[in-house]
Structure 1
């Protein structure tokens, strides 16, 4: 059953700039979720820029229901991407008439902002006329079913994850906060003292989105292909990590053992 969040609960404010001012707040859903709604232990951030709020309200609701934190604005102001560090920027170009406009938008973003994966909403006529110069761009004809756009955003997020190299990224899972740049882990307000291997293990689980990881996969990702030790080294370090997380092998809060397969995020 569709979560009954009304599109009217999403508010736009064209006059409010993107900056560090405490008066600015992202668009938020204020209605209380009904019993049985899905809880989102791990969310990704999407910034959606559109001068036409009526065209994208359903998309905002669908992204929110799919466990994305959505920041919406009429225009993209300098510094906005650095401030909110979205995982994906969705940009409405449905009024675009030629490909040059798309590259102008990309150039403006590149000149003032950090690199971020982008999905462009374009009109159906543009999709029919597009040439090979935009073949590598992420485009989707709009309007369409909002779930199609949500699936595209999810794929872009998955493809664009760079957990070890993106020093500006932070991950949140339940009461854990992992700061990639500082290589720190907070459990609530308490900093955990992890070894480098324990930290790498935790980051791997956090960025796997619940996929079951075999011991061989974990060995390759954390220890590298040149490691020739047995897979039991994974069990030893997972046990050590669990101890520091005050986690249990049974009814685990963070890392679940999948019998005969490996481990996954709880």
Structure 2
């Protein structure tokens, strides 16, 4: 007869299970990002940029990686910077011109000794120090020294003005620096002329109808846009939340 007081060596109660926090396996580096900028990287060898992607993520960049310039998703997404890996001359001049035509700032990674006339003015030799590359990327975030306004293609609501040609926004006489996504969201709202826009409509117009992110993506960018405009959502001067639907401009 088996002794019922004998401890089963396989029973959970008889084993010493080390207690370890699950979160300990996932280091949380960097600060919480209230706002982000989007970088789209095109490289046939993305593994070589793994450390750069990690560094940019910590510094509040949303990083999207593409193996080829003809990826159809590139035409559906907006970005603040295109980072092109030209270290092995993988992209044709025609492809480069097509990317430049999108109007998104572009920085090329080139190998040492590459003639500047093959890559344009915005390039950096790679490999180089990570710090130097990140500083160069961050330089694209700096405010432009161009005049605040000029040209006829403008949208306006109260004291908020948008110059579509120069992609410049001001509140009164003060220049407001927006990301490309924030600019596009504000443009959609200004163009709607007070009509209510659903979150889905805004996602389709700004990110494309093949973007599958949640509607909270719109809410997060609207929150950032309001902050930069100095708009209080409880007493809005510019953007009104239509509960359960989306957003519109104030009357």
Task: Report the TM-score when normalising by structure 1.
Answer: 0.47
Task: Report the TM-score when normalising by structure 2.
Answer: 0.50
Question: Which has more radius of gyration?
Answer: 2
